[in-house]
Amino acid sequence: MPTNRPVRVRFAPSPTGELHVGNIRTALFDWAYARHTGGTFIFRIEDTDTERVTDEYIQKAIDTLKWLGMDWDEGPEVGGPNGPYLQSQRLDIYAEWAAKFLAQGDAYHCYCSADELEAVREAQRKANVAPGYNGHCRSLSPEQIATYEAEGRKPVVRMRMPEGETIFTDLIRGEVKFDHNFVPDFVLVRADGSPLYTLAVAVDDVLMQVTHVLRGEDLLSSTPRQIRVYQAMGVSPDEYPLFAHLPFVMGQDNAKLSKRNGETSISWYREAGYLPEAICNYLALLGWSPGEDRENVTMKELAELFTVERVHSSPARFDMKKLEAINGDKIRALTPEEFFTWSLPFLVNAGVHTGSEAEVALTKAALPIIQERITKLSEIPALLNFLFVSNFAVEAESLVKISDADSKKILTLAHERLSGLTEWSHGTIEEVLRAALIEELGLKPRIAFGAVRIAVTGSHISPPLFESMELLGKEKSLERIASVR
Ligand code: GLU
């Protein structure tokens, strides 16, 4: 086991779409392991599937990792001694190794057509035997090869899987054994010369001297094939990377994570107003725990505390409510300046204001009254809109709630008493409204203040009322109360 070598861990996504919760959980554990051990974090883009991986998705993957605060030591943009870090730029390397495997007899040319392979699969289905390549082209005679060539068939390169089994120790699951009866000869290079994942991933892990492969459990079954490639490359078993297959992430309903139950892109969470620290904190808890029932960790603490021993082998469950709660905690922990910096783009993008000096000043004054109350930054525009809106109107749904005689009475008295105020502060506003509405009219605060709230903010959901009125100013507050009373 390569434990005495300096730790080198890689995150190697195939960006065929935007990165999702599952990808990022893997990236985070890779990053944390590298940082915890003082090792190297490599970011490699597995883009050999040129039809599905696009430049746009590659760029998004890079941006997402950066936004989340995972820095890498080798990879796109930063370079490094083992580059290039985009597999599409390493095709000659894979071609050389495939040629070597052919020359060594570890691999062979397979001329079977798609139809022939399908017929084999069909026969296997009928006979109820495990599906897989039947070894037809394993030992073709020179004449057979000549015939296929003359027919114009283009061969794939297929790896010969010897009889026996592959056994390795997974750092999370312990000993894992694969019987080669269920690991048929596999394709390394397509007929058009393009490499397949198994070839590229194994070659790169060896050439980039990766010591630890932490990745999703869905890739467990590809491990014996990768180990077969290491063998063919002449790597000695004590130099193989160590594997740690991370538990699946299930949806809240215990079904596989999908769009429906949380598996949406990280950019969705970003737009919904989740902080990167919250996303990372929450994802770190999916399959790992810092111990002592602790749930709040910063990136720095994650790097300090992360060990593979604390990763569970049982599936983790994605819980949106918990993510929201953690996001709320992280929002509350921001300094006023940080909170302002995060909030401003949400207000501007939602069209609440344009970010002018006066609007910024009002925003800075208003943010403290909502920082304790929100769980997502995307809640901010609706909460603060009443301060900036020029053509104010009460929401239809809220208007119904104050279109009765009681409300008229409340608002008329509120208007009268507030008009007399010389000092406009939340303290004085509260004082006169309590005296007038609660004591004099004998109303319940919920009813009395509810009506005022709707009148001045336009909605029955708003930041704290008296503070809101202070921020809105006397003139506008009275104007609005007058307009609906
Ligand atoms: N590129 C592979 C994927 O995104 C993962 C490679 C690996 O971690 O071994 O599924």
The per-residue pLDDT for 119 is: 96
Atom of ligand 1 nearest to the CA of 216: 8
Q: Ligand 1, residues 18, 26, 46, 221: which to mutate, most atoms within 8 A of Cβ? A: 46
Q: What is the pLDDT of residues 170-182, one digit of tens each?
A: 999 999 999 999 9
Distance (angstroms) between ligand 1 centre and the Cα of 221 equals: 12
pLDDT at 336 over 60: yes
pLDDT at 99 over 90: yes
341: region left, alpha or beta (phi > 0 left; psi from -120 to 50 alpha): alpha
Atom of ligand 1 nearest to the CA of 26: 8
Q: What is the pLDDT of residues 359-398, one digit of tens each?
A: 999 999 999 999 999 999 999 999 999 999 988 988 888 8
Task: For ligand 1, say whether the CB of 201 is within 6 Å of any of its atoms.
Answer: yes
Bridge partner list, 187: 158
Q: What is the pLDDT of residues 258-269, one digit of tens each?
A: 777 766 889 999
Closest CA to 22 of 370, 283, 342: 283
pTM, two decimal places: 0.92
Query: DSSP character for 443?
Result: -
Q: Residue 255 — very low, low, confident or very high, per pLDDT cuts 50/70/90?
A: confident
Does an H or E element contain 212, and which?
strand 212-216
SS (H, E, C) 16-82: CCCCEHHHHHHHHHHHHHHHHHCCEEEECECCCCCCCCCHHHHHHHHHHHHHHCCCCCEECCCECCC
The encoded tokens of residue 71 equal: 């820095």
Atom of ligand 1 nearest to the CA of 23: 4
The per-residue pLDDT for 254 is: 81
The per-residue pLDDT for 256 is: 79
**CATH 3.40.50.620 domain residues, the chain:** 90-246
Q: Give the sheet arrangement for strand 174-179, strand by strand.
A: 40-43, 8-11, 212-216, 242-246, 165-170, 174-179
Task: For ligand 1, say whether the CB of 48 is within 6 Å of any of its atoms.
Answer: no
pLDDT at 86 over 90: yes
Q: What is the pLDDT of residues 472-482, one digit of tens each?
A: 999 999 999 99
The per-residue pLDDT for 3 is: 57
SS (H, E, C) 289-335: CCCCCCCCCCHHHHHHHCCHHHECCCCEECCHHHHHHHHHHHHHCCC
Q: What is the pLDDT of residues 39-51, one digit of tens each?
A: 999 999 999 988 8
**Dihedral sign, CA of 271, 274, 280, 286?**
negative
pLDDT at 288 over 90: yes
Mean pLDDT on 116-142: 95
**Beta strands 242-246 and 212-216: pairing type?**
parallel
Task: For ligand 1, say whether the CB of 137 is within 6 Å of any of its atoms.
Answer: no
**Beta strands 107-110 and 156-159: pairing type?**
antiparallel
One-letter amino acid at 342 equals W
Mean pLDDT on 135-147: 97
Is CATH 3.20.20.70 what the domain over 396-484 is classified as, yes or no? no
Q: Report how far residue 403's alpha carbon sits from residue 167's, in angstroms, rounded to the nearest whole number.
A: 75
Q: Report how far residue 241's alpha carbon sits from residue 8's, in angstroms, rounded to the nearest whole number.
A: 9
CA distances (Å), 172 to each of 25, 64, 221, 241, 341, in order?
Answer: 15, 27, 15, 14, 40
Mean pLDDT on 175-202: 97
Task: For ligand 1, say whether the CB of 219 is within 6 Å of any of its atoms.
Answer: yes
For ligand 1, atom 7, which residue shows the shortest CA distance?
12
Mean pLDDT (the chain) is 95
Q: Report how far residue 254's alpha carbon sits from residue 243's, in angstroms, rounded to the nearest whole number.
A: 26
262 Cβ contact list (under 8 Å, min separation 6):
21, 251, 252, 318, 320
Q: Report how far residue 199's alpha carbon sits from residue 304's, in angstroms, rounded to the nearest whole number.
A: 34
Residues 92, 188, 222: CA angle, nearest 5 degrees: 120
pLDDT over 70 for what percent of the chain? 99
Q: Taking a C-beta distance cutoff of 8 angstroms, is the pair 212, 7 a contact?
A: yes
Q: Report how far residue 223's alpha carbon sits from residue 330's, in angstroms, rounded to the nearest whole number.
A: 38
Query: DSSP character for 435?
Result: I
The per-residue pLDDT for 96 is: 98
Task: For ligand 1, say whether the CB of 46 is within 6 Å of any of its atoms.
Answer: yes
One-letter amino acid at 371 equals Q
Distance (angstroms) between ligand 1 centre and the Cα of 28 equals: 14
Q: Report how far residue 22's alpha carbon sits from residue 28's, in angstroms, rounded to the nearest whole number.
A: 10
φ, ψ at 366 (rounded to 5°): -85, -30
Show which residues are catalytic.
259
One-letter amino acid at 453 equals R
268 Cβ contact list (under 8 Å, min separation 6):
none
Q: Taking a C-beta distance cutoff of 8 angstroms, is the pair 42, 57 a contact?
A: no
Distance (angstroms) between ligand 1 centre and the Cα of 438 equals: 64
Atom of ligand 1 nearest to the CA of 205: 9
Mean pLDDT on 414-418: 97
Task: For ligand 1, say whether the CB of 14 is within 6 Å of any of its atoms.
Answer: yes
Mean pLDDT on 447-460: 94
Residues 175, 13, 275: CA angle, nearest 5 degrees: 105
Tell me, rounded to whole angstroms, the distance of Cα 447 from its chain centroid: 43
The per-residue pLDDT for 398 is: 82
φ, ψ at 198 (rounded to 5°): -60, -40
Q: Residue 130 — very low, low, confident or very high, per pLDDT cuts 50/70/90?
A: confident
Task: For ligand 1, say whether the CB of 15 is within 6 Å of any of its atoms.
Answer: no
**CATH 1.10.10.350 domain residues, the chain:** 396-484
Distance (angstroms) between ligand 1 centre and the Cα of 75 equals: 15
- Structurally, at CATH architecture level, domain 90-246 sits in 3-Layer(aba) Sandwich (3.40)
Residue 461 CB-half CA count within 13 A: 9
Distance (angstroms) between ligand 1 centre and the Cα of 265 equals: 17
Q: Report how far residue 281's alpha carbon sits from residue 273's, in angstroms, rounded to the nearest whole number.
A: 15
pLDDT at 225 over 90: yes
Q: Residue 416 — very low, low, confident or very high, per pLDDT cuts 50/70/90?
A: very high
Residue reference for tokens 């919760």: 21
pLDDT at 257 over 90: no
Q: Report how far residue 196's alpha carbon sits from residue 318's, in angstroms, rounded to the nearest whole number.
A: 32
Least confident of 3-12, 231-240, 322-331: 3-12
Task: For ligand 1, say whether the CB of 249 is within 6 Å of any of its atoms.
Answer: no
